[in-house]
Structure 1
Amino acid sequence: MAMGMRAFAAWFVPAAMLAAGAAQAGPIQPGLWEITSRVETISIPNAPPAVAQAMRGRPTSIRSCVTPDQAQQGPREMMKGDKSCTVTRYRMVGGAFDSEITCKRPTGTMTASSSGRYTPTSFTARSQTKATGQMAMAMTATLSGKRVGPCK
Structure 2
Amino acid sequence: MKRFLMAAAPLALLGACSGGGASGSDDLQAGEWTMTSQIDEITLAGMPEEMVNQMRERANEQPPNINCLTEEDVENPVEGMFANSEMGDDCDFGDSAFEDGVINVNATCQGPEGQGIANLSVQGTYTATTMQAELSVNVEGGPSEMSMSSTLSAERTGECTAEPEAEPESDAAATDEEE
Question: What is the TM-score when the length of structure 2 is the normalising length?
Answer: 0.70
Work out which of the residue numbers 95, 98, 103 in structure 1 matches 2:104.
Answer: 98
Matched, 1:33 2:33: yes
Equivalent position of 2:78 in the other structure: 75
Matched, 1:8 2:5: yes
Amino acid at match of 1:99: V
Which aligned pairs between 1:1-152 and structure 2 lie closer than 5 A?
4=2, 6-21=3-18, 24-25=22-23, 27-54=27-54, 55=56, 58=60, 60=62, 61-81=64-84, 83-105=89-111, 106-133=114-141, 134-152=143-161
Deviation at 1:33, TM superposition (A): 1.0
Deviations 1:23-73 (A, max 9, x none): 842542111111111111111113332332121582542111112232233
Runs of 4+ in 1 over 4 A off after TM superposition: none
- Does the 8 Å CA contact 2:18/2:76 hold for their aligned counterparts? no
The percentage of counterpart residues that share the same residue type is 24
Q: Kindly tell me: are residues 69 and 19 of structure 1, through their superposed partners in 2, closer, same or farther at Cα, counting changes over 3 Å?
A: closer
- Does the 8 Å CA contact 1:110/1:131 hold for their aligned counterparts? yes
Between structures 1 and 2, the one with greater strand share: 1
CA distance in 1, matches of 2:84, 2:43: 29
Amino acid at match of 1:18: G
Q: Tell me the C-alpha RMSD between the 2 structures.
A: 2.5
Unaligned runs of at least 5 residues, structure 2? 162-179
Larger Cα-atom Rg: 2
Deviation at 1:80, TM superposition (A): 4.2
Deviation at 1:13, TM superposition (A): 3.7
Q: Give the stretch that moved more between structures: 138-147 or 80-89.
A: 80-89
Q: Secondary structure at the match of 2:46?
A: coil
